[in-house]
A and B are shown apart, each in its own frame.
Chain A
Amino acid sequence: MCRDPRLRSVRGMIRIDSLTKRYGDLAAVDDVSFTAFPGRVTGFLGPNGAGKSTTLRILTGLAAPTSGRATVLGRRYADLPNPGLDVGVLLDASAQHGGRTGRETLVLAQRTMGLPDAQVDAMLDLVGLTRTESQRRVRDYSLGMRQRLGIATALLGDPRVLILDEPANGLDPAGIRWMRDLLRAFADDGGTVLLSSHLLAEIELVADDIVVIGHGRVVASGATHELLAASGTLVRAHDGEALVSALASAGYRATPGADGGVVTDAGPADAGRVAFAAGLPLVELRSADGTALEEMFLDLTADDQRDPHPIGALA
C-alpha cells in the first residue's frame, strides 16, 4: 500500500504511520499504518476494543501516541491553524453538553471557527433537524438526533476530511441510509472520509477501502472489492466434518465456518467433485464472496465473544 502512486497527493489525506499507543503493558494500538485517500470512503473495521477509537483520538490530537505519527493533510492535527475548517470530527455523539440546546452547540462551533451565522441553519437543514428540535436541550435528544447534531458540527466548517467514529450508532435504517448517501456524496466530491465501525455489513456498503484492525494491529487492508472478491468456495453438507476431511485428503485447504459451511480454496467444480466422490450430498455450493473477510473478522471477534455462536456479532 505504501508504494501506491496515490500517496503523492497529500491534500485531503489521512496518514497513519507506525502508530503505537501503550497503556502500561497493554498495546491498545500496535504499529498501525494505513492511509485514507481523497475521493474515497475508508472503513476502519474492528471489533469493540480493537483500538479504533484510540487511533482516531490520536489522529485528532485528543491523545498522544507512544510512538509513530498521524497526519491529516500532511500536518499533525494539532498544527492545523483552524482544524474545523479542514477536518470534520465526530468521535462520540453522546459527548455533548446536555444543558445546551442543539442550536447553541452548533453556534459555539460556528463562532470558534469564525463562520457566518447562516451556516448554522444551513447545517440544521442538511442533517434534518427542525428549528423546534434545535431549540430543545441536547439532554432530551435521542442518540439518533445526537448523531445528526454531531454530523452537523463536523460538516459546519465545510471540511475536506471527515473522521467519524461509529456514526451509524443509534440511527434508524432510514438514518443509516441517509448517512451512507451523505458520506458517498462527500467522497465523490473529492473529500476524504474515514469512518470506523464494528459492523462489517455496514462498512461493506459504503467503504471504497477497508482497514481491518484486531487487538491493536492491522490484520487486513485494501480496496473493498478486492477484499471481498471471490476467495474460494463455500460448500455445505450435512456432515461438515466429513466434508472437511474429504477436501483435505484431496489436497485442498478447508476450514469449517461458524455456521456449518466449509470454505475451501478448491474451485466450485473441484469441490463438488470431491464431495460427490466422498458420497456427501451438498446443501450449498457457491463461490465464497466476502466469506474470507467475514471469517477473518469473526475470528477476531470470537476471542472476546461470550456468545458461543459469534455469527450474532454480524447481525
Chain B
Amino acid sequence: MTTLTTPPADVVGRSGPRAVPRNRIPRTRLVDVELRKLVDTRASRWLLAAVPLLTLVVAAGVTIWGSDAETAFAALATTNLMPLELLLPLVAVLTVAGEWSQRSALTTFALVPRRGRVVGAQAVALVLVTLAAAAAVVVLSAVGTVVAAQVRGIDAVWDLGTGLTLRSVLAYLAAVAVEFVAAVAIRSTAPAMVACLGFLFVVPMISTVAAGMWSWWAEHGAWFDLSWSLAFLTAPQITGTQWTQVGTSALLWLALPLALGLRRLLRVEIR
C-alpha cells in the first residue's frame, strides 16, 4: 500500500464521487433509469409518440367524418385505447429483450448485480408508462369529444363508465405483461417480438378454430386462453366467473412462464 502516498493523478478526480456513501442503490433510482431506457432509443420513442399522435388523428377523423354517436366520449376513448394493446407491448419487448440482444445487459448487471432488482424496476417502469399512456389517451379523447361537440354544434356525451375504463386499462396492462414475460423468458428481441404478435393475433385465431371444432374448448377455453378471457375485461359487463377465468388464464400465461423465465434469468451467464 506504499504507493498510496503517490499524489493523485489528474486523470481520475479523486476528490469527487469517491466521497459518495456506499448505500444500496434505491429502487426509485432503478425505476427512473428503466423509465429512461423506455424512451432513449429512436424505436421506442417513435412507438410511444405514436400513442398521442394516433389519438389526435382518430379524434380529428371522427370529428370530420364520423357520426354523432362516434364522437361520444366512451366510443372515442375506447377506439383510441385500442392501439395501446399493440404499441406498448412492443415497447416492453424492445426495452427488456433489447437489453439482452444488444448485450447492454453486461453493463446493466455489472452495475446492479442483483438481477431481480433490475427486472422488478423494468416491470414497474412498464406499468407506469402504460398507465401514463392510457391517461393521456383518455384526456386527449375528452378534448376530442369537446371539440367535436363544438364543431358539430351538439351536446358532448360523457358516457364512459369508470368500471369499464379501469377494466380496459387492466387489459392493456395484461397485454404488456404478456410481452414483458415473453421478453424475460426468451431474452432476445426478434423471437420475443414474434411471441408478441403470436399472442395478439395467432393465439385468438387458433382458439377460435379449436372452439369451432371442439365443443369442450368452446365451453371451457376461457379458463386457459388469456387472449380470450381478456376480451371479458373490455366488454360492458363482466361476471364473477369471467373474473375467475381471467385469473386462471393469467396464472397459466403470466405467472408460470414468469417464474420459469426469472429462475433462468437470475442464473444465466451473461456474455
Contacts and interface: CB of A to CB of B under 8 A. Distances in A.
A189 B6 contact: yes
Given A39-B4, A158-B14, A95 B107 contact: yes
Interface string B1-42: 111101011011110111010111100011011001100111
A186 B105 CA distance: 26
Interface string A150-171: 0001011110100000000000
A153 B111 CA distance: 10
B17 A119 contact: yes
A130 interface: no
Contact of B41 (A83, A100, A107): A100
Contact of B40 (A85, A96, A100, A153): A100
A105 B20 CA distance: 21
A82 B103 contact: no
A176 to B, nearest CB: 16
Contact of B12 (A11, A39, A113, A186): A186
A91 B110 contact: yes
A302 to B, nearest CB: 27
A104 interface: yes
A250 interface: no
Contact of A61 (B8, B105, B109): B109
A182 B13 CA distance: 13
B41 A38 contact: no
A112 B29 contact: yes
Interface string A96-115: 11111000110111011111
A122 interface: yes
B11 A186 contact: yes
A111 B32 contact: yes
A114 B25 CA distance: 8
B4 A81 contact: no
Interface string A235-278: 00000000000000000000000000000000000000000000
Interface residues of B, number: 47
Contacts of B105: 95
Given A57-B271, A63-B269, A85-B22, A108 B110 contact: no
A206 interface: no
B102 interface: yes
Contacts of B33: 108, 111-112
B57 interface: no
Contacts of B12: 126, 155, 158, 185-186, 189, 191
A77 B43 CA distance: 34
A86 B12 CA distance: 13
Nearest to A37: B1
Contacts of B13: 122, 158
Nearest to B43: A99
B150 interface: no
B198 interface: no
B8 A99 contact: no
A104 B39 CA distance: 11
Interface in A62-95: 62-64, 77-78, 80-86, 89, 91-92, 94-95
Contacts of A86: 22
Query: Could you say which interface size class chain A belongs to?
Result: 35 or more
Contacts of B16: 116, 119, 158
Contacts of A137: 42
Nearest to B36: A108
Interface in B257-271: 267, 269-271
Given A39-B2, A39-B3, A100-B40, A89 B9 contact: no
A155 B9 CA distance: 13
B103 A95 contact: yes
A72 B29 CA distance: 24
Contact of B29 (A78, A81, A111): A111
Contact of A112 (B25, B42, B114, B270): B25
A112 B20 contact: no
A307 to B, nearest CB: 27
Contact of B269 (A62, A95, A187, A190): A62
Nearest to A153: B107
Contact of A62 (B22, B32, B106, B114): B106
B98 interface: yes
Nearest to B268: A63
B39 to A, nearest CB: 10
Given A81-B23, A114-B29, 18 more contacts: A38-B1, A39-B4, A40-B3, A60-B113, A86-B22, A97-B98, A99-B42, A100-B41, A105-B107, A108-B37, A111-B33, A113-B111, A156-B17, A157-B20, A185-B12, A187-B3, A190-B6, A191-B12
22 contacts: A11-B1, A39-B1, A39-B6, A57-B269, A78-B114, A80-B22, A81-B23, A82-B22, A82-B23, A82-B25, A92-B271, A96-B107, A99-B41, A99-B43, A100-B40, A107-B36, A108-B37, A113-B20, A119-B17, A126-B12, A160-B18, A186-B11
Interface of A: 6, 9, 11, 38-40, 57, 60-64, 77-78, 80-86, 89, 91-92, 94-100, 104-105, 107-109, 111-116, 119, 122, 126, 137, 153, 155-158, 160, 182, 185-191
